[in-house]
């Protein structure tokens, strides 16, 4: 998600990257391409997801939040991407793999938001960088 943000967002604007999975929500606050804060929910220090996200909102005003993973699981904790935007005070954008490179063959739109696509892209990128 940090690689995508480097292409899609203003380079020096703080943002949050959120990964939603079956084991919880993971978040990273990125400032000047450095992880300034991170959170996980559920966790003993947070009473609910909104509380965990509020911890991520401390600091300079956020430009946006990139959300990826199994976003539909948010409904299970009574949350939505609009709620994330309200708590963080910024725009919420879905992570998409397609804008990160020219595709010879267009992908089905539903694949752009699949968690497996994000994981595959991340693993491929890690392999290239190593």
List phi, psi (to 5°) of 129: -70, -30
**30 pLDDT higher than 70:** yes
Place of tokens 């999975």: 21
37-46: pLDDT as tens digits: 999 999 999 9
Q: How confident is the model at residue 27 (pLDDT cuts 50, 70, 90)?
A: very high
Among 7-11, 64-68, 116-120, whose mean pLDDT is lowest?
116-120
**Residues 53, 96: Cα–Cα separation, whole Å:** 22
pTM of the predicted model as reported, rounded to 2 decimal places: 0.72
For the chain, the structural domain boundaries read 2-129
**Between 2 and 127, residue with greater pLDDT:** 2
Tell me, what's the pLDDT at 39? 93
Most confident of 54-58, 95-99, 106-110: 54-58
Q: What sign for the dihedral angle of Cα 32, 38, 122, 67?
A: negative
Tell me, what's the pLDDT at 121? 60
3-state DSSP assignment of residue 18: strand
Fold of 2-129: Nucleotidyltransferase; domain 5 (3.30.420)
3-state DSSP assignment of residue 72: helix
**Between 51 and 118, residue with greater pLDDT:** 51
**Residues 114, 20: Cα–Cα separation, whole Å:** 11
Number of Cβ within 10 Å of residue 86's Cβ equals: 13
Calculate the average pLDDT of the chain.
Answer: 80
């Amino acid at each position: 998600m940090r690689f995508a943000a480097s292409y899609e967002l203003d380079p020096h604007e703080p943002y949050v990257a959120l990964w939603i999975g079956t084991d919880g929500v993971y978040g990273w606050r990125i400032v000047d391409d450095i992880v300034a804060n991170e959170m996980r929910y559920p966790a003993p220090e947070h009473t609910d997801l909104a509380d965990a996200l509020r911890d991520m909102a401390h600091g300079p005003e956020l430009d946006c939040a990139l959300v990826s993973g199994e976003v539909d699981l948010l409904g299970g904790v009574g949350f939505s991407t609009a709620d994330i935007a309200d708590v963080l005070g910024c725009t919420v954008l879905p992570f998409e793999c397609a804008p990160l490179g020219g595709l010879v063959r267009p992908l089905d739109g539903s694949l752009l938001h699949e968690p497996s696509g994000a994981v595959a892209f991340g693993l491929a990128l890690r392999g290239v960088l190593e």
